[in-house]
């Protein structure tokens, strides 16, 4: 893909996030919808963090990782949603070069964290179901802390390098990003000259960040399902599936939408479809995650009832 510069090339001119500017009559409605979603995400995930801290019954590796996941979801949506709300409220869609680069970096870094944290949570379920006698030894506090810390930090150097590479490009006079945040592909398409190798690098990097954790999750769940099917009674099988069904549903929602968004053929890319898919995995999925984990988890519901009645 080639673009020729028309006039002076500038790397400091502010970008413009078009977002949902084509829906001019729905700006107020969209602001109301998205601020309600943001409040739900903050309250729901904060409640899970509070419950896992206060209730001794939830002081287990599974809920330690769940608390990390809830904190991650709050950070993840806070990278994009407040900016989008400000754009809808003020109708000022400009974003500086540095702000755009910062937003992209944290979005990519936290996205990588989510991929690896979901893989760690799958490994936790694998050990709990396939090696229950060794579970307390394998998933001790030190190992859990190291796995969580590794998930949070593993994407930092890779995404920092990718962001620096993208924003070292020369951008043409067109600075309108047809998206609601500074995502990689919409930004890189504003660059001048041949960007095909940069696009290829993004696809390869996405494959590594998404595919490696996903393969680990598939391996874990293949062993989990094999172990559960060998259980003797239906009640034992049902209990085994119930302990990992919430996590599996979250994995399908996140990886499914992210894979379609980033790894589908370029011929099927369109600005409207990209925005809808991005909305799903950046906003809708984090909103549903607390509901999935709380409504489908007896321990979390028991802790919630205990907290409510205590108050």
* 35-72 pLDDT, tens digit each: 999 999 999 999 999 999 988 888 999 999 999 999 99
Question: Has residue 293 got a pLDDT over 80?
Answer: no
Query: Do the domain assignments include residue 186?
Result: yes
Domain count, the chain: 1
Mean pLDDT lowest among 134-143, 186-195, 220-229, 260-269: 260-269
Percent of the chain residues topping a pLDDT of 70: 91
Q: How far apart are CA 132 and CA 126, in angstroms?
A: 9
Q: Calculate the alpha carbon distances from 21 to 34, 83, 89, 104 in Å.
A: 15, 14, 12, 21
Greatest alpha-carbon span in the chain:
73
Query: Do the domain assignments include residue 123?
Result: yes
Query: Do the domain assignments include residue 2?
Result: no
pLDDT of residue 266: 60
Give residue 174's region: left, alpha or beta (phi > 0; psi -120 to 50). beta
For residue range 214-245, what is the model confidence (pLDDT) as tens digits?
Answer: 999 999 999 999 998 888 888 878 877 877 88
Question: Has residue 4 got a pLDDT over 60?
Answer: no
Cβ(44)–Cβ(292) below 8 Å: no
Q: What is the CATH number of the domain that holds 29?
A: 1.20.1070.10
Burial class (CB in 10 A: 0-12, 13-18, 19+), 201: middle
pTM score: 0.87
Phi, psi of 23 (to 5 degrees): -100, 65
Q: Where are the alpha helices (DSSP H) in the chain?
A: 27-54, 61-90, 97-130, 135-138, 141-153, 156-166, 184-188, 196-229, 234-263, 271-279, 285-295, 298-310
Query: Do the domain assignments include residue 57?
Result: yes
Q: How far apart are CA 173 and CA 13, in angstroms?
A: 9
pLDDT of residue 260: 75
Q: Please, which pLDDT band fits residue 117 given cuts at 50, 70 and 90?
A: very high
CA-closest candidate to residue 123, choices 98, 148, 97, 154: 148
Query: Do the domain assignments include residue 55?
Result: yes
For residue range 82-93, what is the model confidence (pLDDT) as tens digits?
Answer: 999 999 998 888
Q: Which of 11-15, 146-150, 182-186, 203-207 has the highest mean pLDDT?
A: 146-150
Query: Do the domain assignments include residue 34?
Result: yes
Range of 303's domain? 11-310
Query: Do the domain assignments include residue 97?
Result: yes
pLDDT of residue 282: 85
Query: Do the domain assignments include residue 4?
Result: no
For residue range 153-205, what is the model confidence (pLDDT) as tens digits?
Answer: 998 998 998 898 888 888 876 788 888 899 888 888 888 877 777 778 877 88
Which of residues 47 and 261 earns the better pLDDT score? 47
């Amino acid at each position: 893909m080639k673009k020729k510069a028309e006039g002076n090339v500038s790397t400091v001119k502010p970008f413009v996030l078009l977002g949902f500017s084509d829906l001019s009559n729905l700006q107020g409605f969209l602001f109301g919808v998205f601020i309600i979603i943001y409040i739900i995400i903050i309250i729901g995930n904060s409640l899970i963090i509070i419950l896992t801290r206060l209730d001794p019954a939830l002081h287990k590796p599974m809920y330690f990782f769940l608390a990390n996941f809830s904190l991650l979801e709050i950070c993840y949506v806070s990278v994009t949603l407040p900016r989008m709300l400000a754009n809808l409220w003020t109708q000022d869609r400009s974003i500086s070069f540095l702000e755009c680069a910062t937003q992209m970096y944290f979005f990519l870094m936290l996205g990588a964290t989510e991929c690896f944290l979901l893989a760690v949570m799958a490994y936790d379920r694998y050990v709990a179901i396939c090696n229950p006698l060794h579970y307390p030894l394998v998933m001790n506090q030190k190992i859990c802390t190291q796995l969580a810390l590794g998930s949070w930090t593993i994407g930092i150097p890779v995404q920092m390098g990718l962001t620096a590479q993208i924003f070292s490009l020369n951008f043409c006079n067109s600075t309108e990003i047809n998206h609601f945040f500074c995502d990689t592909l919409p930004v890189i398409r504003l660059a001048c000259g041949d960007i095909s190798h940069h696009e290829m690098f993004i696809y390869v990097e996405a494959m590594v960040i998404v595919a490696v954790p996903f393969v680990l999750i598939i391996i874990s769940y293949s062993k989990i399902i094999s172990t559960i099917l060998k259980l003797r009674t239906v009640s034992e099988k049902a209990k085994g599936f119930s302990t990992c069904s919430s996590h599996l549903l979250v994995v399908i929602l996140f990886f499914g939408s992210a894979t379609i968004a980033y790894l589908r053929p370029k011929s099927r890319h369109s600005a409207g479809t990209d925005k809808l898919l991005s909305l799903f995995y950046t906003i809708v999925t984090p909103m549903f995650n607390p509901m999935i984990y709380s409504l489908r988890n007896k321990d979390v519901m028991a802790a919630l009832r205990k907290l409510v009645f205590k108050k």
